[in-house]
Structure 1
Amino acid sequence: MSKGTWYDCMPPCNMRANFSEGTRPVSCQPEGGANTTAYDLMAELAPRWSASKEAAGRLEAELIETALDVAKLDKEDLRELGLAMAERCRVLQWSASLSSLPQVPAGPVRLDRHTSDLPLTLHNLERSVKNGISEFSPSPMARSIDTRCSPWVEIEANVRPVQAQEEQRLDEIEGQADFWCSCFASSSSANGASDSLLAQGQVEGLLDVRENILEAFFDCTPERVREVFASIDSDSDGRMLTVQQLRHGLERCGVSGLDNGTLSKVFERVSGTGRTLHLQAFETILCRLRLASLLARPWRANLSVVDYSCSKATDQYIDANNMRSFFFGHRPGARGPQDAWPVRWVHMPQFDLHLLLALTVKYSLHPLSVEDVIEQCPTKIDRLGANYFLAIELLTLVDNGQGPKGQQPVRVRGQHVAAFCSGPPRLDTLITVTQTDRKFSEDWPGGPGVDMKNCPTTFGHGWPEKLRQRLKATRSRLRERRADSLLYTVVDLCADELVTVTRAFLARLSWLEEDLRTRGDESLLDLGEVSLAQLQLGIVTRRLRSLQRVVRRASEYHDLHTTGSSDYWKDCADHLEEAYDDAVQMKERCDALKAAHEQTMERGQALEMQGRHDEAAGQAEKLNSMLFFLTAATALFTPVQFMSSVYGMNFVNVEGVPTIPMLLEKSGYERFWIGVTAYFALAFACAGWLYRRLQRKSGKQMRRKAAPLPACCCCCPR
Structure 2
Amino acid sequence: AIAPKCGSAVFRRLESERVRSAADLAALDKADLQELGLSMVERGHVLRWAQRVFDDAKPEALCPENVSPGTLGHGFGHAPASRRRHSSEMSVDSAASTRLEDDEDLELQRPTCKLDDIESQAGFWCGLVSAAAPVPRRHRWTSCTHDLRETVLEERFDVTPERVLEVFRDMRRATGDVDSHPGGPMASGTVGAVQLAEGLRRCGFVGIDEATLSRVIEAVQPEQSGRIRLAEFESIVSRLKLAQMFVGVGPADSAGDEGGPTLRGQMSSPVCVPLTVVDYNSRFCHARDVDQWGFREFCFGHRGRPASPHETPYIRWAHMTDFDLTTLFCLAVKYSLHPLGVEDTIEQCATKFDHVGSNYFAAVEQLCLVEDQCGGTESWRLPVRVAGYHVSAFCSGPPLFDTVITVAQPDGSFASDWPGAPRADAAGGQRWADKLRQRLTSAHRSRLRERKADFLFYQVIDLSADDLQAVIRAFAARLVFLEAGAKRRPSQRQQGPEASERTRREHCSEPAVCRQQLTVVMRRIRGLQRALRHFRADADLSAELAGYLQDVAEHLDEAHEDAVSLVEKCARIMEEHHRAVERHDETLRQRTADRLNNTLFALTAGTFIFAPMQFFAGVYGMNFVTKDGSPTIPELVSENGYLYFWLGVLGYLSVVLPLSAWWYLRIQRRSAEDAEEFEEKCRARCGDERV
Kindly provide the CA deviation profile for residues 288-314 of structure 1, in whole angstroms up to 9, marking residues without a partner as x. Answer: 111111122432232111112223322
Correspondence for 1:21: none
Instruction: Give me the whole-angstrom Cα distance separating, in 1, the residues matched to 2:213 and 2:112.
Output: 21
Is 2:402–2:452's contact at 8 Å kept on the other side of the alignment? yes
Instruction: Give me the whole-angstrom Cα distance separating, in 2, the residues matched to 1:352 and 1:255.
Output: 25
Deviation at residue 128 of structure 1 after TM alignment: 12
Q: Which moved more, 1:384-393 or 1:470-479?
A: 470-479
Correspondence for 1:187: 132
Structure 2 vs 1, CA of residues 68 and 157 (structure 1 numbering), >3 Å: closer, same or farther?
A: farther
Instruction: Give me the whole-angstrom Cα distance separating, in 2, the residues matched to 1:428 and 1:129.
Output: 28
Instruction: Give me the whole-angstrom Cα distance separating, in 2, the residues matched to 1:169 and 1:268.
Output: 12
Is 2:367–2:388's contact at 8 Å kept on the other side of the alignment? yes
Correspondence for 1:324: 296
Structure 2 vs 1, CA of residues 432 and 192 (structure 1 numbering), >3 Å: closer, same or farther?
A: farther
Structure 2 vs 1, CA of residues 626 and 293 (structure 1 numbering), >3 Å: closer, same or farther?
A: same
Deviation at residue 684 of structure 1 after TM alignment: 7.3
Correspondence for 1:232: 171
Paired amino acid for 2:242? L
Instruction: Classify the secondary structure of the residue corresponding to 2:440.
Output: helix
Deviation at residue 92 of structure 1 after TM alignment: 11
Match of 2:152 among 204, 210, 213: 213
Structure 2 vs 1, CA of residues 504 and 184 (structure 1 numbering), >3 Å: closer, same or farther?
A: same
Deviation at residue 398 of structure 1 after TM alignment: 2.1
Instruction: Classify the secondary structure of the residue corresponding to 1:532.
Output: helix
Structure 2 vs 1, CA of residues 224 and 96 (structure 1 numbering), >3 Å: closer, same or farther?
A: farther
Match of 1:483 among 439, 446, 453: 453
Correspondence for 1:594: 574
Does 2:450 align with 1:450? no
Instruction: Give me the whole-angstrom Cα distance separating, in 1, the residues matched to 2:4 and 2:377.
Output: 76
Match of 2:610 among 630, 636, 643: 630
Correspondence for 2:123: 178
Instruction: Give me the whole-angstrom Cα distance separating, in 1, the residues matched to 2:489 and 2:424.
Output: 33
Kindly provide the CA deviation profile for residues 644-686 of structure 1, in whole angstroms up to 9, marking residues without a partner as x. Answer: 999xxx989xxxxxx99976xxxxx6x9979986x67986798
Correspondence for 2:233: 282
Is 2:360–2:397's contact at 8 Å kept on the other side of the alignment? yes
Instruction: Classify the secondary structure of the residue corresponding to 2:409.
Output: strand
Does 2:440 align with 1:471? yes
Correspondence for 2:541: 560
Instruction: Classify the secondary structure of the residue corresponding to 2:541.
Output: helix
Match of 1:609 among 589, 592, 596: 589
Match of 2:463 among 488, 493, 496: 493
Instruction: Classify the secondary structure of the residue corresponding to 2:311.
Output: coil
Deviation at residue 597 of structure 1 after TM alignment: 2.0
Is 1:378–1:392's contact at 8 Å kept on the other side of the alignment? yes
Instruction: Classify the secondary structure of the residue corresponding to 1:559.
Output: coil
Percent identity, please: 35
Correspondence for 2:549: 569
Paired amino acid for 1:372? D
Paired amino acid for 2:603? L
Correspondence for 1:424: 398
Deviation at residue 403 of structure 1 after TM alignment: 8.8
Is 1:386–1:422's contact at 8 Å kept on the other side of the alignment? yes
Correspondence for 2:203: 253
Kindly provide the CA deviation profile for residues 618-659 of structure 1, in whole angstroms up to 9, marking residues without a partner as x. Answer: 1101111111111244466678x569999xxx989xxxxxx9
Kindly provide the CA deviation profile for residues 184-219 of structure 1, in whole angstroms up to 9, marking residues without a partner as x. Answer: 111122x5638x656xx43xx332211212222222
Is 2:352–2:364's contact at 8 Å kept on the other side of the alignment? yes
Structure 2 vs 1, CA of residues 279 and 622 (structure 1 numbering), >3 Å: closer, same or farther?
A: same
Correspondence for 1:715: none
Instruction: Give me the whole-angstrom Cα distance separating, in 1, the residues matched to 2:198 and 2:33.
Output: 54
Correspondence for 1:169: 114
Paired amino acid for 2:562? D
Paired amino acid for 1:587? V
Kindly provide the CA deviation profile for residues 163-184 of structure 1, in whole angstroms up to 9, marking residues without a partner as x. Answer: 3111111111111111011001
Deviation at residue 121 of structure 1 after TM alignment: 3.6
Alpha-carbon RMSD across the aligned residues, in angstroms, is 4.5
Kindly provide the CA deviation profile for residues 91-137 of structure 1, in whole angstroms up to 9, marking residues without a partner as x. Answer: 699899767546999xxxxxxxxxxxxx934268799999xxxxxxx
Structure 2 vs 1, CA of residues 474 and 698 (structure 1 numbering), >3 Å: closer, same or farther?
A: closer
Correspondence for 2:245: 294
Note the 1:21-170 alignment, pairs <5 A. Answer: 41=12, 67=16, 69=18, 88=35, 90=37, 101=49, 120-122=56-58, 157=102, 160-170=105-115
Kindly provide the CA deviation profile for residues 352-381 of structure 1, in whole angstroms up to 9, marking residues without a partner as x. Answer: 111111111111111111111111111111
Task: Name the count of aligned residue pairs.
Answer: 578
Correspondence for 2:387: 413
Deviation at residue 29 of structure 1 after TM alignment: 9.1
Q: Which moved more, 1:325-334 or 1:525-534?
A: 525-534
Is 1:103–1:159's contact at 8 Å kept on the other side of the alignment? no
Instruction: Give me the whole-angstrom Cα distance separating, in 1, the residues matched to 2:388 and 2:598.
Output: 60
Instruction: Give me the whole-angstrom Cα distance separating, in 1, the residues matched to 2:61 and 2:636.
Output: 160
The TM-score normalised by the length of structure 2 is 0.73
Structure 2 vs 1, CA of residues 620 and 254 (structure 1 numbering), >3 Å: closer, same or farther?
A: same
Deviation at residue 428 of structure 1 after TM alignment: 1.5
Deviation at residue 443 of structure 1 after TM alignment: 2.2
Is 1:416–1:434's contact at 8 Å kept on the other side of the alignment? yes
Instruction: Give me the whole-angstrom Cα distance separating, in 1, the residues matched to 2:427 and 2:58.
Output: 49
Deviation at residue 559 of structure 1 after TM alignment: 3.2
Kindly provide the CA deviation profile for residues 558-580 of structure 1, in whole angstroms up to 9, marking residues without a partner as x. Answer: 53337x33332222222211111
For structure 1, list consecutive stretches of 5 or more residues without a partner in the other structure: 1-14, 17-24, 31-35, 46-65, 79-83, 106-118, 131-154, 653-658, 664-668, 706-718
Q: Which moved more, 1:249-258 or 1:366-375?
A: 249-258
Note the 1:658-669 alignment, pairs <5 A. Answer: none
Instruction: Give me the whole-angstrom Cα distance separating, in 1, the residues matched to 2:612 and 2:199.
Output: 122
Correspondence for 1:506: 476
Structure 2 vs 1, CA of residues 642 and 208 (structure 1 numbering), >3 Å: closer, same or farther?
A: closer
Does 2:515 align with 1:534? yes
For structure 2, list consecutive stretches of 5 or more residues without a partner in the other structure: 67-99, 179-184, 248-264, 494-499, 675-691
Paired amino acid for 1:337? P
Q: Is the radius of gyration larger for structure 1 or structure 2?
A: 1
Instruction: Classify the secondary structure of the residue corresponding to 1:339.
Output: coil
Match of 2:358 among 386, 389, 402: 386
Instruction: Classify the secondary structure of the residue corresponding to 2:381.
Output: coil
Instruction: Give me the whole-angstrom Cα distance separating, in 2, the residues matched to 1:206 and 1:395.
Output: 26
Does 2:369 align with 1:374? no
Deviation at residue 88 of structure 1 after TM alignment: 2.7
Deviation at residue 548 of structure 1 after TM alignment: 1.6
Structure 2 vs 1, CA of residues 591 and 126 (structure 1 numbering), >3 Å: closer, same or farther?
A: closer
Structure 2 vs 1, CA of residues 326 and 672 (structure 1 numbering), >3 Å: closer, same or farther?
A: closer
Is 1:379–1:550's contact at 8 Å kept on the other side of the alignment? yes
The TM-score normalised by the length of structure 1 is 0.70
Is 1:303–1:346's contact at 8 Å kept on the other side of the alignment? yes
Instruction: Give me the whole-angstrom Cα distance separating, in 2, the residues matched to 1:88 and 1:601.
Output: 72
Instruction: Classify the secondary structure of the residue corresponding to 2:380.
Output: coil
Match of 2:532 among 551, 554, 567: 551
Paired amino acid for 1:216? E
Is 1:350–1:457's contact at 8 Å kept on the other side of the alignment? no
Instruction: Give me the whole-angstrom Cα distance separating, in 2, the residues matched to 1:593 and 1:616.
Output: 34
Structure 2 vs 1, CA of residues 259 and 616 (structure 1 numbering), >3 Å: closer, same or farther?
A: same
Does 2:275 align with 1:303? yes
Does 2:312 align with 1:365? no
Deviation at residue 422 of structure 1 after TM alignment: 1.2
